[in-house]
């Protein structure tokens, strides 16, 4: 089955056409500056459509050329927030689209864009099945003691304030790949998965299910990220609000100016590692803060899952930064974790073990592939007629 995978942002639209059975990518691209006037093109990128419908025309033309007469059979959408309702991928109709739209307040930057994408495709290709794959769905198995915040109950009942978790498609895919690599049935797999990209989260997997995850009500909680603070004392915000900071000021500070950027002046892990290696003390401290935070989560989640059978690194930093992996592993000696320094340095696109045979917990690098996971989930839903 050929599946068009759509990741629609407020001003961008990322797409791939995947052959699900062959596991291959037949076409891919990125349309940017949607609704921002003419971006002027350049580098072969198509730019400047008026809205998501016009962006879709550009996608259609590009795909048509790449597929040379083949047609795709379904569309799979990445949807950031599925709230409490969506625990798995669903076939989309107008009621589902409205349900996703009702979740807009929980993901004000992301869900409205997904809704625009769903509606534009329903209009252009009314016969085509569309499937929504939610970033939160994999974490619907969190027990209540893990998803509750210790705040007055009415914040949950009236405002939906609880922990949801994100990156679920990636954590799900990576944990299945890791279980397969270690030859453990996924229903028996207990592990800690660290998805470390620009956004970063770590998930506790017990019997193949997510039982805790570091992102919460929004993707801000938890780890130190490229530009996001992760955990902090919420009273800091009260303190700053009293000093005159507006909600927008706080939002910008926490989501765009913090994390590696706030500590080291650069949000890109590669640059921070290079700076630290060249003797920059701030960059070195940023790495120390980020690796220490992650190590604490790994220790906590090792306990939460009752003893992890694997520690898995994935996404841009997890897959590529041997330096960051080593910094984290160095803090895990108490768990008996021991990296093989040669295996850790190796570069590969394959899932692999990077710990020594003596390591009490095997450490793995497993490349994530969210588009592939979305394409497979889409095909499964369409085939089952759900
Ligand atoms: P996103 O969350 O946007 O999908 P990615 O998963 O692509 O992000 O991860 C981006 C991060 O991965 C950046 O911090 C980048 O510096 C880091 N990264 C990518 N390649 C390397 C590398 N070779 N060494 C170290 N870090 C890397």
E-assigned strand segments in the chain: 2-8, 13-19, 24-31, 74-79, 90-91, 130-134, 191-196, 200-206, 209-213, 310-314, 352-353, 363-365
Q: Compute, in angstroms, the gap from residue 319 CA to the centroid of ligand 1.
A: 8
Q: Are residues 13 and 91 in the same domain?
A: yes
pLDDT digits (tens, 9 = 90+) for 296-326: 999 999 999 999 999 999 999 999 999 999 9
CA dist 92 and 386 (Å) reads: 10
Tell me, yes or no, whether 148 lies in a domain. no
If asked whether residues 227 and 348 sit together in one domain, one would say yes
User: pLDDT tens for residues 274-293?
Assistant: 999 999 999 999 999 999 99
Examine residue 27 and state whether it is found in any structural domain, yes or no. yes
DSSP-assigned states of every residue in 42-99:
-TT--B--SSHHHHHHHHHHHHHHHHTT----EEEEEES--TTT-SS-EE--HHHHHH
pTM as predicted: 0.94
279 annotated to a ligand binding site = no
Task: Work out how many domains the chain is built from and give that number.
Answer: 2
Q: Do residues 273 and 344 both lie within one domain?
A: yes
CA 159 to centroid of ligand 1, rounded, Å: 34
Q: Any known ligand binding at 344?
A: no
User: How does DSSP classify residue 331?
Assistant: T
Report how far residue 220's alpha carbon sits from residue 214's, in angstroms, rounded to the nearest whole number: 9
Residues 276, 257: Cα–Cα separation, whole Å: 19
CATH number for the domain that contains residue 217 = 3.30.420.40
Residues 24, 109, single domain; the answer is: yes
Flag whether 224 is in a domain. yes
Claim to verify: residue 213 and residue 358 sit in the same structural domain: yes
Query: How confident is the model over 99-131, as pLDDT tens digits?
Result: 999 999 988 888 999 999 999 999 999 999 999
> Is 317 known to sit in a ligand binding site?
yes
Question: Quick check: 44 pLDDT over 70?
Answer: no
Atom of ligand 1 nearest to the CA of 267: 14
Pocket perturbation via mutation, ligand 1, pick of 169, 194, 198, 199 by most ligand atoms within 8 A of CB:
198
SS3 194: strand
Tokens standing for 154?
Answer: 């009415």
Q: How many whole angstroms from 267 Cα to the centroid of ligand 1?
A: 10
What is the overall mean pLDDT for the chain? Answer: 95
Single out the residue of 54, 29, 22 nearest to residue 43, CA to CA.
29
pLDDT for position 41? 47
Residue range 167-179, pLDDT digits in tens: 999 999 999 999 9
In-domain check, residue 330: yes
Average of per-residue pLDDT across 65-81: 92
In a domain, 269, yes or no: yes
**Is 135 a residue of the active site?**
yes
Residue 103 lies in a domain: yes
List ligand 1's pocket residues with C-beta within 6 A.
197-199, 226, 268-270, 315-317, 320-321
Mean pLDDT confidence for 235-256: 97
In this prediction, residue 45 has a pLDDT band, given cuts at 50, 70 and 90, of low
Q: Are residues 128 and 201 in the same domain?
A: no
Residue 38 shares a structural domain with residue 110: yes
Range of the domain at 29: 2-134
Same domain, 270 and 357: yes
What pLDDT is stored for residue 108 in this prediction? Answer: 86
Is 8 within 8 Å of 32 (Cβ atoms)? no
Task: Tell me: do 116 and 215 sit in the same domain.
Answer: no
At 40 the pLDDT is 46
98 lies in the same domain as 245: no
Please list, in sequence order, all residues whose beta carbon lies within 8 angstroms of the beta carbon of residue 289, skipping any fewer than 6 positions away: 224, 263
Among the listed residues 135, 190, 212, 369, the single catalytic one is: 135
Shared-domain flag, residues 243 and 327:
yes
170 inside domain: no
Residue 152 lies in a domain: no
User: Is the same domain home to 87 and 235?
Assistant: no
């Amino acid at each position: 089955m050929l599946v068009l995978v759509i990741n629609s942002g407020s001003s961008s639209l990322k797409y791939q056409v995947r052959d699900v059975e062959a596991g291959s990518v037949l076409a891919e691209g990125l349309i940017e500056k949607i609704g921002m006037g003419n971006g002027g093109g350049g580098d072969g990128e198509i730019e400047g459509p008026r809205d998501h419908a016009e962006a879709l025309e550009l996608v259609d033309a590009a795909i048509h050329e790449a597929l040379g007469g083949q047609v795709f059979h379904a569309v799979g959408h990445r949807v950031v927030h599925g709230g409490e309702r969506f625990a798995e991928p669903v076939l989309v109709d107008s009621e589902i689209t409205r349900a996703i739209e009702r979740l807009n307040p929980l993901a004000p930057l992301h869900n409205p864009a997904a809704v625009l994408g769903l509606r534009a495709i329903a209009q252009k290709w009314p016969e085509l099945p569309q499937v929504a794959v939610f970033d939160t769905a994999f974490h619907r198995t969190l027990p209540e003691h893990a998803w509750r915040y210790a705040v007055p109950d009415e914040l949950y009942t009236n405002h939906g304030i609880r922990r949801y978790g994100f990156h679920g498609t990636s954590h799900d895919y990576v944990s299945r790949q890791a279980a397969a690599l270690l030859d453990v049935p996924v229903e028996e797999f207990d592990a800690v998965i660290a998805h470390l990209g620009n956004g970063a989260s770590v998930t506790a997997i017990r019997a193949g299910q997510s039982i805790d995850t570091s992102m919460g009500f929004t993707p801000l909680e938890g780890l130190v990220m490229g530009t996001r603070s992760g955990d902090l004392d919420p009273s800091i915000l009260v303190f700053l609000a009293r000093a005159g900071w507006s909600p927008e000021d706080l939002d910008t500070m926490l989501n765009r100016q913090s994390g590696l950027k706030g500590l080291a002046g650069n949000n890109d892990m590669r640059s921070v590692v290079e700076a630290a290696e060249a003797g920059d003390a701030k960059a070195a401290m940023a790495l120390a803060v980020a690796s220490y935070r992650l190590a604490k989560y790994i220790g906590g989640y090792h306990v939460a899952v009752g003893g992890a059978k694997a520690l898995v690194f994935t996404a841009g930093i997890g897959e590529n930064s041997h330096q960051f992996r080593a910094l984290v592993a160095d803090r895990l000696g108490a768990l008996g974790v021991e990296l093989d320094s040669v295996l850790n340095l190796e570069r590969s696109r394959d899932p692999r073990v990077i710990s020594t045979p003596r390591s009490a917990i095997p450490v793995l690098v497993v490349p994530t592939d969210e588009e592939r996971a979305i394409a497979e989930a889409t095909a499964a839903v369409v085939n089952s007629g759900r």
